[in-house]
Structure 1
Amino acid sequence: MFPLAYQPGEIGFCDFTRVKRVAITLRGQPFPHLLFHYRLAWSGWAYGQIVHGGESFVALSEGLQNALAACGGVPRELRTDRLSAASRNRDGSYALDITPRYQALCAHYGLSPSRNNRGVAHENGIVEGPNGHVKRRLEQKLILRGSCDFEEPAEYGELLAEVFSALNAPRQRRYEQELEHLAPLPAFRFADYERLTVRVRSTSTIEVRQVIYSVPPTLIGRQVTVRLHHDRLVVFLGSGWVCQLPRAYGAAGEKRAWCIDLEHLIDGLRAKPRALLHCRYQRHLFPDQRWWEFWQQLLAGGERDGAARLMAEALYVAVRVASFELVLAFLEQAQRRQSLSLSALQQRFRVPPRCPSLPDPVIPQHLLASYDHLVPAAALTGGGSGPAAAAQTTQAGAVSQPLAAAGRAG
């Protein structure tokens, strides 16, 4: 009813939106995700990126900071809808309703936060309307591409970046004018992750948000720090970086989900191949559907223990020696020729022999008398442990630190 006008650098809008009319897949598997959309009200300059999972604070923090960095400046106000990541959505004062983390994020960039009224989405029309424009352009890009399937999220992200680049092209002049009215970026980014402390289990796994992740076996029993992003986990031991894992999200109704990297567990699996038969996350040890189907054929066509030894060795070769595609091609070809065996696999790829287990070292116990040369002669001849003996030791030039009793040595 009331036409609105904004000043350069006055306000930016951000929102999450879902792609509904096309089904994006990664290597043939559904890819549930959201799009984060940021837009300057005066110039119409926009930024967008893929968000894994839901409308979490870490997704909001990363998306907003990436948008501000890409823009090169900060407006005076940031407008959102009723994001649970930003406010508790209770009745009363907005200043009291805003979450401490979102308040700290806005304070770091000098932003004044605001939101629309509950259930009145058109109050954020500056970004709500263009959400549809972005998704229509994305759909057209996918039609021209001829496929909605991608190898990696980064490939999908590049296509989305092309969409926003085309949207920003006619607004370039106004954006440059508005850029002069934006506040400068701070020297450092605000934390766009959650910090968790977990202990690595004896199974070389950690559990984060009801998802089991494998980690290097050298961490078993250690307490590690996890930086939890919306799309990845970064694991630290103390202050040292250890590894980065893709973040997984369980399906609705699942109590547990698994994210297993065979690189972490392959040496243990090769040492105990029968574990492959009854492992709780057996399906997740295989890189794709073809490997899984071949494993099912081995189980149906022969002796189970032999099948487990062969498959564990094949996975080891694929991880350590060759590639998954090359090893699977050999297995399928050998099976057709009825010449598939463990020895044939090892000969084909020249697999190095397993390292023999080293015997426990034998360390001879030294005599307690070997410590005598460390004790001043006066302390040995004086005897006793009272004040007189202590005074005699001091006169002889002994160290001031008290000596342990002989019965406690070693």
Structure 2
Amino acid sequence: MGMLAKIRRMHLRDGLSIREVSRRTGLSRNTVRQWLRQEGVTEPKYPKREAASAVDAWAEHLASALKADQHRPVRDRRTVKMLFEQIRALGYAGSYARVTRWVRGWRAEQDAAPRRAAFVPMSFELGDAFQFDWSCEYVFVGGLRRRLEVAHTKLASSRAFWLTAYPTQSHEMLFDAHARAFQALGGVPRRGVYDNMKTAVDKVGVGKQRSVNARFQAMCSHYLFEPEFCNPASGWEKGIVEKNVQDRRRQVWREASERRWPDLATLNAWLAERCRACWAETAHPEWPALTVADVLQDEQARLMPCPKPFDGYVEQPVRVSATALVHFQRNRYSVPTRHVNAVLSLRAYPDTLVLVADGVEVARHTRSFERDLTFYDWQHYIPLVQTKPGALRNGAPFKAMPEVLQTLQRHLLRHAGGDRVMAQVLAAVPVHGLEAVLVAAEIALEAGRPSAEHVLNVLARLKDGTTAIRELAQPTPALKEEPRADVQRYDALRNPQEARP
């Protein structure tokens, strides 16, 4: 268009000949003459020269592979290098640059193609609904790069969100995520929008029919909100929280992935601070003059009050082995030896395991998500070593005893019968308490010749001293009637016949 206008100005306005116009523009005289004879002012377009390429024979194969990758998660899609290696193994003889150029052009055509899908904008009332979803993120926790499942809970109206990271997507993690989110957001909306995750839906029926998991239904009943589930493969029905996953990856997880976290609790504490900071920094999409934190204050007045957290444990029966251990998720945890060969109830929380027998808690352990580990509580084995004191010498649970007791054990085992003496000392732990036994063991070690009698004697003296101090601390009762010094009262106790005349 620019060259045609230039030619017309030079010939029609400036009066230059066709020969002179051709000399100045570098075009042939026939081309200049042909353009000037056209009635319109449209510059002609010449077809692009088509040259055969070595990729043309593999275009269909590459296109089908790229279309298949569009239905896969981003992390599972094949790179251009991988596609090049595949077709080269099948007989492609061209260069890698030709494949990258073809793939780049194919993707540009796909981006320029019209989109058939159309969506209706959604609007939610304050306190009406929240949307929930999971995302997979990678960060360094405890010195290792770990895969974490992040729970996203976002209010549909105010756009306030809450993030919590977990090792898995199990039921107890789901329940804990709701409890934390409702507590942080200041209340519970009337509805919750979910996809068809396995921890909530046991079976997807026709239309909106769902077979809801019993434990998930119990949680919804506890918080008094109504669950709603999207149609299969219809993530746009909860697009607010889907977009939140993308935004938080650019805003929060980019920073989190650059840092090193000692444990998951520290990471979640930092996520809580970042969520609140984002509320104050982010403008609301519908009311740009207000921040998310400002709109959240208005929405909190319309939320249902947040009750006490739902006791969201997952319970299963476990049998105690002959070594007083129970197995859970490829790890072993100790219980008191009196429950050997019994069946206990194991209640799994996000960070704790509780063992229950007849409704009474008998053991508690910090939950581990590693594999093939054993976690002992050496106090569980104290009753057993009373009958088997020889097990103290190489007993695995007793390697976790406090350093004072291990030092005392080394002193006692130098002499014959030292294991039995040490068993007597450990038998005092359930009676007097661990702190008192540790103090008595330190005093006995300072004496130079520790023994069970010495430790038990110190414990008795400590107990008596504590009792005496407690008695002295009590107020002295006041007398209602002062005593009188009357010795004649003793004569009334004598037999009258024995009285002197």
TM range (shorter): 0.5 to 0.7
The CA deviation at 1:148 is: 2.0
Match of 1:164 in 2: 275
Match of 1:320 in 2: 402
Q: Which amino acid aligns with 1:17?
A: S
1:197-243 deviations in whole A, cap 9, x for unaligned?
33322111012345432334354344432211233211223333333
CA contact (8 A) 1:215 1:264 kept: no
Match of 1:25 in 2: 141
Alignment of 1:85-100 (within 5 A): 85-100=199-214
- Per the normalisation by structure 2, the TM-score is 0.50
User: Is 1:154 aligned with 2:269?
Assistant: no
User: Is 1:203 aligned with 2:323?
Assistant: yes
- Residues 153 and 264 (structure 1), Cα distance of their counterparts in 2 relative to 1, 3 Å cut: farther
* Greater alpha carbon shift after TM alignment, 131-140 vs 34-43: 131-140
Match of 2:356 in 1: 236
- Residues 50 and 261 (structure 1), Cα distance of their counterparts in 2 relative to 1, 3 Å cut: farther
Q: 2:249 aligns with which of 117, 135, 144?
A: 135
- Residues 139 and 49 (structure 1), Cα distance of their counterparts in 2 relative to 1, 3 Å cut: closer
- For this pair of structures, how many residues does the alignment match? 290
> 1:11 & 1:355 partners in 2: Cα distance?
65
Match of 1:51 in 2: 166
Match of 2:299 in 1: 178
More helix as a share of residues: 2
Q: Equivalent residue of 1:97, what SS?
A: strand
> 1:189 & 1:220 partners in 2: Cα distance?
34
Unaligned stretches of 5+ residues in structure 1: 252-256, 274-308, 328-341, 359-410
> 1:209 & 1:95 partners in 2: Cα distance?
33
The CA deviation at 1:154 is: 1.4
Match of 1:376 in 2: none
> 2:153 & 2:194 partners in 1: Cα distance?
10
> 1:206 & 1:318 partners in 2: Cα distance?
18
User: Is 1:37 aligned with 2:152?
Assistant: yes
Structure showing greater radius of gyration is: 2
Q: Equivalent residue of 1:105, what SS?
A: helix
% identity of equivalent residues: 22
Q: Equivalent residue of 2:131, what SS?
A: strand
> 1:216 & 1:9 partners in 2: Cα distance?
49
The CA deviation at 1:317 is: 6.4
Pick 1 or 2: higher relative contact order, CA cutoff 8 A, min separation 6: 1
The CA deviation at 1:140 is: 4.4
> 2:355 & 2:279 partners in 1: Cα distance?
37
- Residues 225 and 130 (structure 1), Cα distance of their counterparts in 2 relative to 1, 3 Å cut: same
Q: Equivalent residue of 1:230, what SS?
A: coil
Q: Equivalent residue of 2:137, what SS?
A: coil
Alignment of 1:93-108 (within 5 A): 93-108=207-222
Alignment of 1:348-387 (within 5 A): 353-356=418-421
CA contact (8 A) 2:390 2:420 kept: no
Match of 1:74 in 2: 188
